[in-house]
Structure 1
């Protein structure tokens, strides 16, 4: 669970595409990518996210939501190279947010 601050109290590395209202909350979180590939940002509530390499936003390659009753509200995939990234969250109504960044499969195959 990540703690968020009121939006006016945050100095973002790059202006969020959707910063939210003055009463919304957000935060900045750092993560490292060691292996190139697809990474998924998962949120437990609605919010806007930006993944930055320095101040350059990464381009999302897929969007989805989790299964009903899963607690997963939003999933956004990015193809990332090794390096340090910032995850900027904005526009959340609560002061806490379940979030995760994980290496994501590029395809799913099943054996029958």
Structure 2
């Protein structure tokens, strides 16, 4: 409740001075607590695939936020069985992401969803997870060890058909 009130006040304050800002000025970052996720404010729109056997999966890019549209969960043909499905009213989808080097990658999510990042039929085991900062729209953070190469991002148990996601490499 406090978080949503703070966002409403921030939005109102931003809107009040919007006409004063030059058109070429980028929008302000919404939260400086996670500088690696500064690109969160400019997500690319992606429609996730409900199954992997109907052509190439839509690609999300590391370091770029994605506003993802999901399908009803009953349409999902998962690449691995998700540990949470969210029931008959949930949403789900599949994307592809490329990890440029082997290492730990942190995925930020805007909602309470289940995330699997899959390589050759095996879901990466989380090495850390937690909540996003109170000052921003990131709700969940998950750290996963990934090998260099392409991986399937499987989102399940989403309560709404829209979720934002972003992945970044955790620099040691």
Q: Answer yes or no: same fold by TM over 0.5.
A: yes
Superposed displacement of residue 105, structure 1: 2.9
- Which of 47, 68, 87 is the matching residue for 1:2? 68
Which residue in the other structure is 1:68 paired with? 134
Match of 2:114 in 1: 48
Query: Which of the pair is proportionally richer in helix?
Result: 2
Whichever of the two has the greater Rg, that structure is 2
Runs of 4+, deviation exceeding 2 Å: none
Q: Which ranges in structure 2 are unaligned for 5 or more consecutive residues?
A: 1-66
Residue 61 of structure 2 corresponds to none
Q: What's the secondary structure of 2:127's corresponding residue?
A: strand
Alpha-carbon RMSD: 1.0
Mapped pair 1:81 → 2:147:
yes
Q: Provide the rounded CA distance (Å) in 1 between the counterparts of 2:100 and 2:171.
A: 16
Query: What are the superposed Cα offsets for residues 10-60 of structure 1, whole Å, 9 maximum, x if unpaired?
Result: 111111111110110011111011211110111001011111102111111
The number of residue pairs the alignment matches comes to 106
State the alpha-carbon separation in 1 of the partners of residues 159 and 130 from structure 2.
20
TM-score by length of 2: 0.59
**Any unmatched runs of 5+ in structure 1?**
107-112
Determine which structure has greater relative contact order: mean sequence separation of CA pairs < 8 Å that are 6+ residues apart, divided by chain length. Answer: 1
